Chains A and B, each alone.
Chain A
Amino acid sequence: MDTDLLRIQDLSVRFFTYQGVVRALEGVWLSVRRGEILGLVGETGCGKSVLARSILRLIADPPGKISGGRILFKGRDLLALPMKEMRRIRGNDISMIFQEPMTSLNPVFTVGNQMEEVVRLHQKVSRKAARRICVEMLTQVRMPDAEAVLRKYPHELSGGMRQRVMIALELSCRPDLLIADEPTTALDVTVQAQVLHILSDLTRARETSVLFITHDLGVVAHLCDRVAVMYAGKIVETAPVEALFQSPRHPYTRGLLAAVPSLDEDREFLASIPGVVPGLIDPPGGCRFHPRCDGAGEPCRRMEPAGVEVGEDHWVFCHGIR
């Protein structure tokens, strides 16, 4: 069997705005393997959420447009599927958790109401059976007093509880791939710890693949098997998690790791990456990182770097590597 559940090939996404064409993704290659948790890290505006939404074809068109590439899920190109087919895949085969759980739940219906609807939409069961499934689902995400939670409205739940409801809901149809877009960013650390624990427990037990999008390197180190680092609409490095943290090769990855303040050691000053993230309407030519890179040379300004395998399963896109 193919080890890659999802294979993204040469994906480009553009947004046509009044200011110009935003090249949000440019020639992205990435695969998610069966049963792995793949971390996708990058700073604001690097295109990581656009990538996630493209997989489910949730890019608003207009202004957005998937302008090239293929997204192969179990060998089928999602971009070529008719909408009806795509709708069947959403939720059943691939589901997604967003950052802000409040906006993913409808405020005027009870939690039970919304969960039952989803369950009955995907599985042909009676209302009573659906209720039972909901209670089971909530118990699995360790929600105390599941029955009572079902009778509540979203605003009566805390952020952590809402996110657990979302996890329960998204995993209810046993998808093969779960896309989690910054699911713990809006939560406090102690609640984040609970949610991460539940998420990894459930997906590991069911061998669900996860594409986990975050800007928090601590969360990546804690949770993921493999990591892809994005910068300005491109993947710059992918590696197994140990290799990425122990021997990062791309200057951007190194800069990012050095910029994180540590809980275990004292450093007088943090390393910082000079300059700012470039706008994607007119991104720098050649390697998109070159204006902020210490080691940038002539080829970096002119040519896009190709991928180099520097270790087992460890790929870097940088002219400085040979």
Chain B
Amino acid sequence: MSDGVVIRAVGLKKYFSAGSGLWGRRKVFVKAVDGVSFEGRQGETLGLVGESGCGKSTVGMLLSGLHRPEAGRVFYRGQDIMKLDGRERRRMRRNIQVVFQDPQSSLDPRMLIKKAVGFPLEVNRLARGAEVTRRVEAMLAEVGLRPEHMYRYPHEFSGGQRQRINIARALITGPQFVVLDEPTSALDVSVQAQILNLIKDLQRRRGYSYLFISHDLSVIRHVSHRVAVMYLGRIVESAPRRQLFSAPRHPYTRALMAAVPTPDPTRRRPLALLPGDVPSPVHIPPGCRFHPRCSEALDVCRHVEPTEVPVGSDHWVACHLWGGGA
């Protein structure tokens, strides 16, 4: 593969069963991810942004193999990872790693940092004994921690340091693709800045490809090369970062941007008021999922689900206003 695509997801779907009604007569499903396709390119960050419940974290879980999709494929450098058998799949996993949101619960409180960070090496039989120690030490240095930190427990670290440890653990097997699921959401701004800088710096030095999942548009803008906006289990718009932020096309993307208060009192503007709440993914509106909250909805939006159409170089929108019904 020479087109620089590390990961390609095609038509991913993940439904969760949410009870079955009285005596199991009525099966109810949460359609968390409902037909999502994208590409992650070498050395780039794909930002995935959306509000709570839109399915963005589930997408991360599907890529990293923590959930199996109902439908769809994930290709790693052209290879369909769903088709691999156990041993090959485990080997593949080394190449795709995850960093989770909560730096507290993602580390075992009784495990020394050396053990926690070195564990992936041992499980994958990549190193043993002194070699593990050496590589853990090098990895900790890489994320800005000192060798003596190896012999401490998680509770001895601050939230920001714990997130550094999580990043070290994710990177130690030498992955090509890293899923970062809201890695800074639990952190204060001053610490968030440190972690975002670290993530970008590692990418620049080591060429990692990231899927960066966040609900925070400013953070997404800061880290991403490309951005995909999710709403109720679907990607509604995707484009290179500059393109998306300078010329957002989908009404939802625009509303999302206009709802963020700017940290500048001289440019105070009324925040966009999108009516209502995000509908439940159990009862997805027919037609375009966004139509009940869209001020520009046409009649066709109520009945026909729009498909993604190009509206610029590498810029895709799923909206009838942009010809998504054709």
Contacts and interface: CB of A to CB of B under 8 A. Distances in A.
B295 interface: no
A221 B260 contact: no
A205 interface: no
A4 interface: no
Interface string B256-272: 11011111111010111
A59 B263 CA distance: 32
B196 interface: yes
A216 to B, nearest CB: 7
State which size class the interface on A falls in. 35 or more
A308 interface: no
Contacts of B265: 221-222, 241-242, 245
B160 interface: yes
B81 interface: no
A141 to B, nearest CB: 13
A181 to B, nearest CB: 16
16 contacts: A158-B277, A189-B51, A189-B215, A190-B51, A193-B273, A194-B273, A218-B261, A245-B263, A259-B190, A261-B219, A262-B263, A266-B222, A270-B197, A272-B197, A276-B161, A276-B191
B17 interface: no
B224 to A, nearest CB: 11
B188 A270 contact: no
Contacts of A221: 261-265, 268
Contacts of B278: 188, 190
Nearest to B274: A190
Nearest to A44: B188
Interface residues of B, number: 44
Contacts of A258: 193
A197 interface: yes
A219 to B, nearest CB: 5
A266 B241 CA distance: 10
A307 interface: no
A43 interface: yes
A219 B272 CA distance: 14
A212 to B, nearest CB: 12
A215 interface: yes
Contact of B277 (A191, A218, A268): A191
Interface in A289-303: none
Contact of B259 (A190, A256, A268, A271): A190
Interface in A185-200: 188-194, 196-197
Nearest to B161: A276
Contact of A256 (B190, B221, B245, B262): B190
B20 interface: no
Given A43-B190, A193-B271, A246 B266 contact: yes
Given A189-B260, A260-B263, A264-B262, A272 B217 contact: no
A188 B221 contact: no
A193 B261 CA distance: 8
